[in-house]
């Protein structure tokens, strides 16, 4: 190989300058390295295979891997079917067949092959991972959860897969399961941003506010522009009546997403509570424009106008609130108070 390289170099020198020759050899080295790496991967796969006494089955399996990697799915299917015809107890082949069928969008065959692989080797996690992801992709969530929980129980530790399982639990409002799975993820990847945020949002739903603040703050340290996380922390402080702190999170959230209707209301109200009436007016006015049927928005806007001394506009807002919610005692009380103030 070295002799051939010098021959090539002697031929190249008259044709190209040294910089171009260097670039050519760099590209060649990458190609050659890639070839050797693929061979190394195949050797490693061979070393990790489940047991089979048939050498020809091992060779067919390795061919199946090569065909699958290069996208030759029909060829991969053929050699793998030949392999299981010789040894149908070889779980590796069934697992790879499941992957090939999935890529060919033959869902039933993929499902069957992966279940077969899992049944042949009860301690092997990988088939359950592929089966769970297959079911997720096809919106079969109960089956997906069952397969992925089997994967976890067998020691599965691919954090991308565990995150998908956590998202599925989150979508189903199963917060206890989200917290359980994200705990595993964070042991493997302590700085996994999404795991911290999923965990924190569920802790908030479960009213575990201190734990939620810790998890959400960690997520925010890792990625500062998460609107959902900013809003969640802001909401905790807002509900506690700590309006100064809520502004610290709602403000950056609105900088990222200015038309965030619920946050406009809470941000405007927080500004009012901290004495910034003019800015409160601006945000509450924008809120009622976007959400004109919310009585609370009109009531709070009326309060802000009243504090500014614009009693007439305040009364209009209180009346609008009462029209929308006739039993809203706060708006009626504000209207009565404003009317008294408006008397000569």
Q: Where are the domains of the chain?
A: 60-156, 157-223
The mean predicted confidence, pLDDT, of the chain is 88
What's the whole-number mean pLDDT along residues 170-185? Answer: 98
Dihedral of alpha carbons 76, 81, 83, 84, sign: positive
| Residue 336 binned pLDDT confidence (cut-offs 50, 70, 90) | confident
Q: Is the dihedral of CA 229, 233, 239, 243 positive or negative?
A: negative
**pLDDT, position 50:** 58
CA distances (Å), origin 177, targets 38, 112, 222: 39, 28, 23
Evaluate whether 60-156 and 157-223 have a shared fold: yes
Taking the C-alpha atoms of residue 268 and residue 281, their distance in angstroms, rounded to an integer, is 7
Per-residue pLDDT at 49 exceeds 60: no
Q: Is residue 53's pLDDT more than 70?
A: no
Confidence of residue 344 (pLDDT cuts 50, 70, 90): very low
Q: Which of 207, 255, 203, 248 is nearest to 227 (CA)?
A: 255
What is the Cα–Cα distance from 116 to 107, expressed in whole angstroms? 14
Which residue, among 30, 33, 24, has the nearest Cα to 5 in the 3D structure? Answer: 24
Number of C-alpha atoms within 13 angstroms, CB side, residue 116? 20
The reported pLDDT for the residue numbered 123 is 96
d(CA 117, CA 140): 20
Q: Please tell me the CATH code under which domain 60-156 is placed.
A: 1.25.40.10
What b/e string do you get for 140-175 counting C-beta neighbours within 10 Å, with b at 16 or more? beebbbebbbbbbebebeebebbbbbbebbbeeebb
**CATH superfamily placement of domain 157-223:** Tetratricopeptide repeat domain (1.25.40.10)
- pTM equals 0.81
Q: How far apart are the first and last CA of the chain?
A: 104
Inform me whether the pLDDT recorded for 66 exceeds 90.
yes
Q: What confidence tens digit (pLDDT) does each residue in 209-248 have? A: 999 999 999 999 999 999 999 999 999 999 999 999 999 9
Instruction: Find the angle CA(114)-CA(132)-CA(175) to the nearest 5 degrees.
Output: 160
Spatial separation of the C-alpha atoms in residues 145 and 167, rounded to whole Å: 11
- Burial annotation 244-277 (CB, 10 A radius, 16+ → b, else e): ebbbebbebbbeeeeebeebbbbbbbbbbbeebb
The predicted structure's pLDDT at residue 55 = 83
């Amino acid at each position: 190989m070295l002799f051939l390289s010098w021959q090539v170099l002697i031929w190249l020198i008259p044709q190209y300058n040294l910089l171009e020759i260097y670039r050519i050899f760099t590209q060649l080295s990458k190609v050659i390295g890639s070839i050797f790496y693929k061979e190394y991967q195949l050797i490693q796969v061979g070393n990790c295979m489940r047991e089979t006494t048939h050498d020809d089955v091992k060779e067919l399996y390795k061919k199946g891997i090569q065909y699958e990697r290069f996208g030759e799915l029909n060829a991969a299917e053929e050699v793998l079917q030949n392999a299981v015809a010789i040894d149908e107890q070889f779980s590796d082949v069934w697992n790879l067949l499941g992957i090939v069928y999935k890529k060919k969008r033959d869902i039933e065959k993929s499902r069957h092959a992966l279940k077969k692989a899992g049944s042949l080797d009860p301690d092997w996690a990988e088939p359950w991972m592929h089966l769970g992801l297959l079911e997720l992709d096809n919106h079969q969530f109960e089956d997906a959860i069952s397969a992925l929980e089997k994967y976890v129980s067998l020691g599965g530790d691919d954090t991308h897969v565990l995150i998908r399982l956590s998202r599925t639990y989150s979508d189903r409002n199963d917060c206890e399961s989200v917290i359980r799975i994200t705990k595993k993820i964070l042991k493997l990847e302590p700085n996994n941003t999404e795991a911290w945020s999923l965990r924190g949002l569920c802790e908030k739903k479960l009213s575990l506010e201190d734990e939620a603040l810790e998890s959400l703050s960690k997520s925010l340290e890792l990625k500062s522009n998460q609107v959902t996380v900013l809003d969640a922390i802001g909401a905790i402080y807002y509900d506690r009546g700590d309006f100064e702190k809520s502004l610290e999170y709602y403000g950056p959230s609105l900088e990222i997403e200015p038309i965030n209707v619920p946050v406009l209301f809470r941000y405007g109200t927080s500004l009012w509570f901290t004495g910034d009436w003019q800015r409160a007016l601006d945000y509450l006015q924008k809120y009622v424009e976007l959400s004109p049927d919310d009585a609370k928005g009109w009531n709070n806007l009326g309060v802000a106008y009243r504090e500014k001394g614009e009693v007439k506009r305040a009364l209009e807002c209180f009346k609008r609130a009462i029209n929308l919610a006739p039993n809203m005692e706060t708006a009626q009380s504000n209207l009565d108070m404003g009317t008294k103030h408006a008397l000569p």
